Amino acid sequence: MDFALDEIDQEIAGLARTFVDREIVPHIRDWDRAESVDISIVGRLEELGFLGLGIAEEYGGTPSSFQAYAAVMEELGRGDNSIRGIVSVSLGLVAKSIASHGTEEQRSHWLPRLTSGEALGCFGLTEPDSGSDPGSLRTRARRDGDDWVLDGEKMFITNGTWAAVALLFARTSDEGGRGVTAFLVPTDVPGFTARSIEGKLGLRGQATAALSLEGVRVPDSARLGDLGRGLPIALEALTKGRISVAASSVGVAQAALDVALGYATERRQFGGPIAAKQLVQELLADSAVEIDAARLLTRRAAWGVDQGTALRALSLHVSMAKLAASEAAVAVTNRCLQVLGGYGFIDEFPLGKYLRDARVLTLYEGTSQIQKLIIGRELTGLNAM
């Protein structure tokens, strides 16, 4: 296994590193306080090609390896997980699902808009009463002549109030997981409303929304993939999406360690820098080990995608990476906050924001418990979900 990035991928990752340091890091406190990022950042993401990574050039994309995509997600996560989420959902979950499962008409209509940032996408699987168990979702799509009419509610939808297109999963029959179909729904159609969810612990700059669908009418040409094949499309997107969450976890943990290292070297107590105290070094050493382990697991998973590993086999390494990296992000940001003492608790330093933003990483795109169940299933061959 060779996880080293080739020259082109290194260039893409370097571009992301410079962009994050110059154009994201200086703004994160203001965006966190304002509870909104400056959405014009989408234009910069497009200029840098980050909204089209891995999408064919004919649709405005930038051909690149999945490892390069994961490296960019780590850098964006190091800057601000709210920004990483914009790309990860619009490109990683929506555009890539259209590229893999869409008709030529769907690809040529949506992909140039998504890769150019003219449109953002959102991914609507979760509902108020259906989270870890998406096979229980209740949003209905009813056939009416050549159209489909959708009714239901979606919850916690990233980019929900910003998106021009929603990839929605709706029940077309009562056959449990086999009765779910995917639809590409323009968000300006009558009956579609997005309500911003306020008061989040972290990711305050990101638009997270509850969606309401009341008699939303779309033609059959809006259906993505075959009837009843919605959940496999969602699970394929989420399996690869979890690598982005893992990469972002590594990024935020690295950001926290970088701040803690700088602070520990400068801060003096008991006549010397706190970095010289053994118990502070323990906090830093434990963090560095967890970050490196998480980064290697994440790179192995991304490398697996580039090797064309079958989804089921890939899911073991992906779940290991997502579980280890997201739990490390919470532990490391918390530990690094400790290094800053009282200064970790005020937003003169970003440790509080890093910890709050990290907290969601063990929850979305499959909780840590769900990752353990996937790992257990792959080890034993028995499904405990």
Catalytic residues: 365
Residue 383, classified by CB atoms within 10 Å of its CB into exposed (0-12), middle (13-18) or buried (19+), is exposed
Of 12 and 247, nearer to ligand FAD (C-beta) is: 247
Determine contact, residues 190/69, Cβ cutoff 8 Å: no
HSE of 184, CA atoms in CB hemisphere, 13 A: 31
Phi, psi angle pair for 50, to nearest 5°: -75, -15
- Compute the least distance from the CB of residue 15 to ligand FAD, in Å: 26
Q: Does 241 bind ligand FAD (CB under 6 A)?
A: no
91 binds ligand FAD (CB under 6 A): no
- Residue 64 or residue 208: which is nearer to ligand FAD going by CB? 208
Contact call for residue 136 and ligand FAD (CB under 6 A): no
Provide the minimum distance between the beta carbon of 141 and ligand FAD in the complex, in angstroms, as a whole number: 16
Chain residue whose CB lies nearest ligand FAD:
131
Count of Cβ atoms closer than 10 Å to residue 7 Cβ: 6
Residues 337-376, one symbol each (x = binds ligand FAD by CB under 6 A, - = not), give -----------------------x--xxx-x-xx--x---
Please state the φ and ψ torsions of residue 119, each to the nearest 5 degrees: -130, 145
Out of 64, 115, 126, 181, the only residue in the binding site for ligand FAD (CB under 6 A) is 126
Q: Does 162 bind ligand FAD (CB under 6 A)?
A: no
Binding-site member from 119, 125, 259, 323 for ligand FAD (CB under 6 A) = 125
Tell me if 89 contacts ligand FAD by CB under 6 A.
Answer: yes
User: Which 93-122 positions form the footprint of ligand FAD (CB under 6 A)?
Assistant: none
Contact criterion met (CB below 8 Å) for 261 and 284: yes
Amino acid at 123: F
Cα–Cα–Cα angle for 31, 36, 40, rounded to 5 degrees: 90
DSSP string, 10-57: HHHHHHHHHHIIIIIGGGHHHHHHHTS--TTHHHHHHHTTTTSBTS-G
Among 87, 95, 137, 203, binds ligand FAD (CB under 6 A): 203
What is the C-alpha separation between 117 and 162, in angstroms, rounded?
Answer: 11
Number of residues that bind ligand FAD (CB under 6 A): 21
Query: Measured from the CB of residue 206, what is the shortest distance to ligand FAD in angstroms?
Result: 7
Amino acid at 38: D
Which residue, among 66, 45, 139, 119, has the nearest Cα to 298 in the 3D structure?
66
Site for ligand FAD contains 158 (CB under 6 A): yes
**Residues near ligand FAD, by CB under 6 A:** 89, 123-126, 131-132, 156-158, 203, 208, 360, 363-365, 367, 369-370, 373, 385
